[in-house]
Amino acid sequence: MASNLEAAERVEATTFGDRLAETIDRKRTQLVVGLDPQRDLLPVELAGDAYQGRDRTAEAFVRFCNGIVDAVTPYAVAVKPQLAFFEALGSDGMRALEEVCAYARQAGLLVIVDGKRGDIGSTARAYAAAYLEGAPPLADALTVNPYLGRDSLEPLLGACRRHGAGVFCLVKTSNEGGEIQDLKLSDGTPLWQHVAKLVAEWGEDLVGARGLSSVGAVVGATHPRAVGEARRLLPQSILLLPGVGAQGASPGDVARAFTSGPASALVAASRSVIYAFRSASETDWRSAAAAEAARLKSEIWAAAGW
């Protein structure tokens, strides 16, 4: 009975993997632009308002992020709001996040909220309700921490089945992280590779018609060899690859991530796009962001080889 119910739930909504693949086919881009609004880095025209109270800072964040959405929509498949920058502004920031997410989805972009959530029981169910459920949900996908085990993800996997949501599990992050993620198990396998195998198992029953699971993995583009190994361990998972741009990785570092198809990986760039005006000859922040997004879109597509 339970298996029949799960099967029925799965067909109620188009899977995240299928929606992503369809959008990538249409737009021919795997670029995800991170939205990391920081008051000290805002353009001059917005910075003044941002120092007049928390509510005005939140309004400036909305204007900035929505302007970035306008600039990058032709070149990106999704945006990735970093939850921490909005949470720092309290209730004003959370209202700003809702506005930005709604604006991006209306523009035709998928929204991946970067929250790295992970907990058990009713808390996990609340995270699923907050970000992946509702009419419409706040986001299409959420980054999650899998280190509490499958029971911490089950409510989120349920949202994937019922609502066509996606999750991206932290597997090998773009920071160093070696003292934990590279720790060797008794058989010599690095811990992160063991987590990758678990992620592959958790996503087996959430594979859509395009062969991609709604359970993806975050793998830092700053670790090119790990990207290739993650692709081998996760043949049906979408890899979300942060670290291109300000963190030093290049599109060429992630080419091997695309061997499962053009939609099997997403390349995330944040500061190098949204703050491109700070180092570019183009002084208009929207135009500078658009130019950098267009460059990355072209280079990533070429590196993917499709």
Is 239 in contact with 258 (CB distance < 8 Å)?
no
Q: How many residues does the chain have?
A: 306
Q: Which amino acid is residue 75, in one-letter code? A: Y
For β-strands 78-81 and 31-35, DSSP reports them as parallel
**87, 48, 42: which is closest to 61 by C-alpha?**
42
Q: Which is nearest to 160 in space by CA: 121, 81, 215, 113?
A: 215
DSSP code at position 213:
B
Indicate the pairing of strand 78-81 with strand 110-117: parallel
- The set of residues, in sequence order, having a beta carbon less than 8 Å from that of 296 and lying 6+ positions away, is 31, 75, 244, 245, 251, 267, 269, 272, 273
For residues 254 and 265, the answer to whether their CB atoms sit within 8 Å is yes
- The answer to whether the CB of 153 falls within 8 A of the CB of 167 is yes
Long-range CB pairs of 149-152, under 8 A, 24+ apart, other chains included = 150/198, 150/202, 151/120, 151/121, 151/124, 152/118, 152/119, 152/120, 152/124
Quote the strand ranges of 177-223, DSSP E: 215-219
Residues with a known catalytic role: 116
